[in-house]
Structures are given as structure tokens and as C-alpha cells.
């Protein structure tokens, strides 16, 4: 492999700069080459809850590792404090990797953090990652789109607040599409009830994938009416994705991951 593709881990990155890096859905083998290189070279890494242990071990000895994870109802660091920390580390003339699970621009607050860096005059670069929806669906054995099943694909945040104001439930209940709810486990009952109330058949296939792409992956296949109760019975909690649509049925023939 040429040095231009994967420079040696000890190569020096530009000091005083922040790299916003997507860590992918969990399996370290799904990191991009660039993400792996930057993790191995960074002076400081600020990482989230969904970044797997196998990924953090790629950091060089002596790198400053700062956990800034957010779990349901428990935030290690408030977002404003994370923003301030990124600016502070860069101003200490460190090469900083801001490491986020999945892709940093898909429900990862990456845009918010970059706005702060821009205001502070801090240079940055963005390294996309495989988003959780793509990784979890592939490892659960179904595609997110298919000409005979889904001509549209919608990603929705599952953090439903204030009576779900702002969520276009009628649009999400339209046929011939796949809808992926990120961070939606706590709102499973509401998701089910709202979609059915807006016309999506109760028998619509649903998949719930927890710890997608990892050896600990759990996958529940159900339908729109029954999946909240089955989630409770199986005691599947976050982090997990909820996927609705007829593409989910394809796992019966396309499933490959144990």
C-alpha cells in the first residue's frame, strides 16, 4: 500500500486542527482507511459512546483520550462543554480527532460542532463514516432500498419531544419506502401508534437492530403492531435502530450474519 493512501501511524498531523471523523457502525474493520490513519496519528481524541473499544485501541501511545459519550438520560459532557473542549484542545496546538459513531453528519451533531470551530477560527476536516442504518441493515440481512419494495429512504430521529411536533407522520406512513428511526427505542409505542393511525398497515415488517455489525448484535423481526411489546419481552434497549418497510422481509433469504 502506497504511503499516500495510508501514511505511517507516527506521521505528524497538522497541529491546531480538528478532524471530525465517522467511526462507522461498530465493527473496527468497517472504518475507512483515512479514519484509521487519523486515529493512529492524533494527539487527542474526543470520542462518543457508540465508538467501539476496538476502535479506540488504534490510538497511539500517549494520545489524550477524552470520553464524551451520550447515553439515554445520561450525558458525560453537555454539548456546549464538548464544543468548548474541541476549541481549547486545538488552541493548545494539538491535532484533534472528534470521533463519532456512524457518520458524524447523520444525527451526530457534527454540523453544530463545526459551526463552533468556524466561529473560533479553528481549521477542520470532515471524514465521513458508514452510517448506522447502512451497517445495521446489511448485517441484519436486508437492503434499505430495492426496486420492488422501496423507492424512498427516510432517516428520522427517534428523540420525539413535545408530542412529536415537527414529525410528518403522514409522510412516514406512505407506501414504497423504508423508514429508519435512530435512537427510537424509548418511543417505540408512539412510533407504532402514530404510523398505524396515519395509514401504515399494522402488518408492515419491522426490524430492530441493537449493536449492529458487532458479535453482540441482536436483531428482532416483527410487525408494526407487535414490535413494542416484543421489544419489552426481549428486553432490547438502546442503542438500537428501528427499520420499517417491506424490505425487512428480504432477511428471510438474504440474511448472512450469524
Alpha-carbon gap, residue 127 to 35, rounded angstroms:
7
Q: Quickly state the pLDDT bin for 10 (edges 50, 70, 90).
A: low
- pLDDT above 60 (res 6): no
pLDDT at 9 over 80: no
Q: Per-residue pLDDT tens for 80-129?
A: 999 999 999 999 999 999 999 999 999 999 999 999 999 999 999 999 99
**pLDDT value of position 69:** 79
Q: Which residues contact 112 (CB under 8 A, 6 or more apart)?
A: 79, 83
Active site residue 70: yes
User: Are 142 and 250 contacting, i.e. CB atoms less than 8 angstroms apart?
Assistant: yes
pLDDT at position 2 is 42
pTM value is 0.89
Which residue in 17, 27, 43, 70 is the catalytic one? 70
Confidence of residue 1 (pLDDT cuts 50, 70, 90): very low
pLDDT (0 to 100) of residue 74: 54
Q: Give the chain's domains with CATH numbers.
A: 17-127 (3.40.1010.10), 132-254 (3.30.950.10)
For the stretch 69-88, pLDDT in tens is: 766 555 567 889 999 999 99
Which residues share a beta bridge with 241? 209
The predicted-structure confidence for 194-247, as pLDDT tens digits, reads as follows 999 999 999 999 999 999 999 999 999 999 999 999 999 999 999 999 999 999
Picking from 185, 195, 127, the residue whose alpha carbon sits closest to that of residue 160 is 185
pLDDT at 4 over 50: no
The active-site residue, picked from 27, 43, 48, 103, is 48
Residues 6+ apart with CB under 8 A from 3: none
Amino acid at each position: 500500500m502506497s504511503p499516500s493512501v495510508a501514511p505511517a501511524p507516527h506521521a505528524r498531523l497538522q497541529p491546531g486542527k480538528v478532524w471530525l471523523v465517522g467511526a462507522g457502525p461498530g465493527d473496527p474493520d468497517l472504518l475507512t482507511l483515512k479514519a484509521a490513519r487519523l486515529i493512529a496519528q492524533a494527539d487527542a481524541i474526543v470520542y462518543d459512546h457508540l465508538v467501539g473499544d476496538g476502535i479506540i485501541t488504534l490510538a497511539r501511545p500517549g494520545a489524550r483520550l477524552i470520553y464524551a459519550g451520550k447515553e439515554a438520560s445520561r450525558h458525560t459532557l453537555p454539548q456546549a462543554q464538548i464544543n468548548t473542549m474541541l476549541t481549547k484542545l486545538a488552541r493548545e496546538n494539538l491535532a484533534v480527532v472528534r470521533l463519532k459513531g456512524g457518520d458524524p453528519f447523520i444525527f451526530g451533531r457534527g454540523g453544530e460542532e463545526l459551526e463552533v470551530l468556524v466561529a473560533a477560527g479553528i481549521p477542520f476536516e470532515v471524514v465521513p463514516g458508514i452510517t448506522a442504518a447502512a451497517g445495521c441493515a446489511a448485517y441484519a440481512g436486508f437492503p434499505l432500498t430495492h426496486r420492488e419494495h422501496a423507492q424512498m429512504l427516510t432517516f428520522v430521529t427517534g428523540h420525539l419531544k413535545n408530542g412529536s411536533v415537527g414529525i410528518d407522520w403522514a409522510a412516514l406512513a406512505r407506501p414504497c419506502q423504508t423508514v429508519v428511526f435512530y435512537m427510537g427505542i424509548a418511543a417505540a409505542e408512539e412510533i407504532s401508534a402514530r404510523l398505524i393511525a396515519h395509514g401504515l398497515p399494522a402488518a408492515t415488517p419491522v426490524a430492530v437492530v441493537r449493536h449492529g455489525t458487532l458479535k453482540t448484535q441482536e436483531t428482532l423481526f416483527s410487525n408494526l403492531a407487535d414490535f413494542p411489546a416484543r421489544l419489552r419481552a426481549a428486553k432490547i434497549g438502546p442503542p438500537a435502530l428501528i427499520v420499517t418497510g417491506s424490505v425487512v422481509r428480504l432477511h428471510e433469504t438474504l440474511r448472512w450474519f450469524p
